[in-house]
Structure 1
Amino acid sequence: MSVRLMISDAMWDRIEPLMPADPVRGRRWADHRRTLEAIAWKYRTGAPWRDLPKEFGPFQTAHKRLLRWAADGTWRRIFAAVLATADAEGGIGWTVSVDSTVCRAHQHAAGARRGGQASWREPADHALGRSRGGLSTKIHLASDARARPLAMVVTAGQAGDAPAFTAVMAALRVPRPDGGRPRTRPDTVIADRAYSARAIRSHLRGRHIRAVIPQPVDQVRHRLRRGSRGGRPPGFDDEVYRERNAVERCIARLKQWRGLAMRTDKLALAYQAALHLAAVLIWLRGRPGRP
């Protein structure tokens, strides 16, 4: 049986220096490239772990490695390093779009012990909740101007968009190559009407970030009803707002991975790790702007 691989030699040359070193004592790690290919194949196809092709080795190895590297922050560090390199090369468009998407959860995602694990930063609800579509998880994300993910946060499916905005902005941290303070402030943030809250506008204004967010009809009516006490309407650039489709294209690229479009992981930790791996491969493919 032949399987389609996702990591080219050029991509592996970028990833390999970022992988954990072999332990000083004990058994050596299994081949890192084969392990990453195994994890990518599982989430790209949406297949169960036990159906992993034998070319990738034991499924337990890939599954345990996914969780271990999620717990110790390896996936986040690799993602941050890839972003740092892209920023140093001038490859990040700092007109950032923010949005969210709901992903259905398979019945296999339910049943994890409540309470989470503090040492793993696992949320108590495992980022699972019930929305109109049933059991689901919501991905809140920020995308650069070329439809590539910059920051991702997962919550329960019924969670609102606006309350998660500050968490998404806090997750946006691009390290500097010289070791200075990471860049956390985009030039412009574009979002839809769900983010038209006074707290969000104040947050962006306080950080000197331009907000391009339309007002809902009810907010406009309320301001007009108050007359002069309603103040001036917030600035809005219709031309810049057209670039919000970047985050929609970014979501479409992530949902090409069937294991992300429908969650089967019991732990939010594992699901978030798979999101980071998908994001890393999207950046390393070097196909900006195409879903």
Structure 2
Amino acid sequence: MLYRVRVGCPWRDLPQAFGPWTTIYQRFRAWAASGKWRRIFHACIVDPDLEWAFMDGSYAKAHQHSAGASGGQPQAIGASRAGRTTKIHLAVDAYGLPITFEITGGQINDCSIGPSLVDAIPRVDIMIADKGYDSRRVRAAIQTRSSRPVIPRRRHSKRANPDFDSGLYRYRHLVENAFARLKQYRAIACRFDKLKTHYEAVVAMACALLWLPM
């Protein structure tokens, strides 16, 4: 499974040394449906630095092989002028290591997912995000947990922003670096999976690997 996540090959093209590809795929599908890979990812999170946390979203192009899911199951693939895309909404700790994520269609904006992303992580002292998260709902979700939002205002906003700290905001590259590391896995950089649960499992595998000492 990890080999396929790394190289992004079709399941049927797995090396024969791994055994029948159908057996591997069926096991992957069962584990994805049960949420096992996400639980493994959460089990790998040990002593995160939650003084600061960062959140952001990043697009992944949906390959033509990801089309045609049957049974009406959720896909989390959006269509726009840029084509078919999926969006990974990620939160990382002060070390830049992933602590939670959500998968949506590419057309979903950041501020609509921000509150649920905030609720999914332990309390942090400071939550840092870009202006895509500049909404009352996101700020309220952060402040409700006694955390401080460091989020720039949108260009034409006239509201005050007393919590903004430009020095802390410079460290937002940590979440961008996390996306760069995740997209070294080809099955994440380009989505081949038809179902949302399958792509979530792929992202969870890679997030777990980032926590393992290498």
For the residues of structure 2 that align with 1:148 and 1:267, how far apart are their CA atoms?
25
Does the Cα contact within 8 Å between 1:104 and 1:133 map onto a contact in 2? no
Report % sequence identity: 43
- Relative to structure 1, the CA distance from residue 214 to residue 146 in structure 2 (aligned partners, 3 Å threshold; closer, same or farther) is same
Largest Rg, 1 or 2: 1
Q: 1:171 Cα shift?
A: 3.0
Instruction: Give the length in aligned residue pairs.
Output: 214
Does the Cα contact within 8 Å between 1:148 and 1:282 map onto a contact in 2? yes
Paired position in structure 1 for 2:52: 95
2:17 is equivalent to residue 60 of structure 1: no
Does the Cα contact within 8 Å between 2:129 and 2:151 map onto a contact in 1? yes
Paired position in structure 2 for 1:276: 204
Q: Which runs of 5+ in 1 are unaligned?
A: 1-38, 117-122, 173-183, 224-231, 287-291
Paired position in structure 1 for 2:89: 140
Q: Which amino acid aligns with 1:212?
A: V
2:116 is equivalent to residue 167 of structure 1: yes
Q: 1:234 Cα shift?
A: 3.3
For the residues of structure 2 that align with 1:271 and 1:196, how far apart are their CA atoms?
28
Q: Which amino acid aligns with 2:190?
A: M
Q: Aligned runs of 1:100-119 on 2, under 5 Å?
A: 100-113=57-70, 115-116=72-73
For the residues of structure 2 that align with 1:108 and 1:101, how far apart are their CA atoms?
20
Does the Cα contact within 8 Å between 1:128 and 1:156 map onto a contact in 2? yes
Paired position in structure 2 for 1:200: 138
2:3 is equivalent to residue 41 of structure 1: yes
Q: Which amino acid aligns with 2:206?
A: A
- Relative to structure 1, the CA distance from residue 215 to residue 235 in structure 2 (aligned partners, 3 Å threshold; closer, same or farther) is same
Paired position in structure 2 for 1:252: 180
For the residues of structure 1 that align with 2:177 and 2:211, how far apart are their CA atoms?
14
Q: Which amino acid aligns with 1:110?
A: A
Across the aligned residues of Structure 1 and Structure 2, the Cα RMSD in angstroms comes to: 1.4
For the residues of structure 1 that align with 2:5 and 2:141, how far apart are their CA atoms?
36
For the residues of structure 2 that align with 1:102 and 1:243, how far apart are their CA atoms?
21
Task: Output the TM-score relative to the length of structure 1.
Answer: 0.70
Which one has the bigger strand percentage? 2
For the residues of structure 2 that align with 1:76 and 1:158, how far apart are their CA atoms?
24
Larger RCO, structures 1/2 (Cα 8 Å, 6+ apart): 2
Paired position in structure 2 for 1:237: 165
Task: Output the TM-score relative to the length of structure 2.
Answer: 0.94
For the residues of structure 1 that align with 2:81 and 2:181, how far apart are their CA atoms?
24
For the residues of structure 2 that align with 1:58 and 1:171, how far apart are their CA atoms?
37
For the residues of structure 2 that align with 1:49 and 1:106, how far apart are their CA atoms?
15
Paired position in structure 2 for 1:78: 40
Paired position in structure 2 for 1:17: none
Q: Which amino acid aligns with 2:108?
A: A
* Deviations, residues 142-180 of structure 1 (Å, cap 9, x unaligned): 0112221111100001111100112222333xxxxxxxx
* Deviations, residues 174-221 of structure 1 (Å, cap 9, x unaligned): xxxxxxxxxx2122110001111111111211110111101112113x
Q: 1:138 Cα shift?
A: 0.5
